[in-house]
């Protein structure tokens, strides 16, 4: 596959994960149901859940730098490593938003939920494939 096709495929995967990140919070947020979990503990857990994603970013960055090599021999493996690193980072980046969805079912305030969701969104933008990768 060409580099532009690979980049487009990974960007589609990024949009899929973005929808997967936000959908639970958008669907569960308006529901008036209390699970009885402590909302402050969910919020603190959501804040701490941001850190594994930042740690996973280093492997994503290394995979991006590996794409600078222009030899065709290991091109497919380098794109596969980039996809693996991106999906792992996006999984960890989505965790605070998923905890916000759980927190909204436990009485977590709207501002606290928004902080977790926006934290996930900001981390998500770290895992976009830059335009320079062509």
Ramachandran area for residue 128 (φ above 0: left; ψ -120 to 50: alpha; else beta): beta
pTM over 0.75, yes/no: yes
- Reported as a pLDDT band with limits 50, 70 and 90, residue 1 is low
Residue 134 lies in a domain: no
Residue 34 lies in a domain: no
Q: Residue 63: give the domain boundaries.
A: 3-28+40-127
Domain count for the chain: 1
- Reported as a pLDDT band with limits 50, 70 and 90, residue 26 is confident
Residue 65 lies in a domain: yes
Distance CA(71)–CA(73), nearest Å, equals: 6
Whether residue 120 is predicted with pLDDT greater than 90 in this model: the reply is yes
């Amino acid at each position: 596959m060409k580099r532009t096709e690979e980049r487009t495929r990974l960007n589609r995967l990024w949009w899929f994960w973005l929808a997967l990140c936000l959908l639970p919070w958008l669907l569960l947020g308006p529901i008036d149901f209390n699970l009885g979990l402590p909302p402050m503990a969910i919020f603190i857990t959501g804040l701490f859940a941001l850190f594994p994603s930042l740690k996973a970013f280093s492997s994503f960055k290394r995979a991006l730098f590996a794409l600078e090599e222009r030899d065709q021999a290991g091109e497919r493996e380098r794109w596969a490593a980039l996809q693996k690193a991106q999906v792992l980072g996006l999984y960890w980046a989505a965790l605070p938003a998923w905890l916000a969805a759980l927190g909204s079912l436990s009485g977590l305030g709207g501002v606290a939920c928004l902080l977790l969701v926006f934290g996930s969104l900001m981390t998500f933008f770290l895992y976009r494939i830059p335009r320079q990768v062509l």
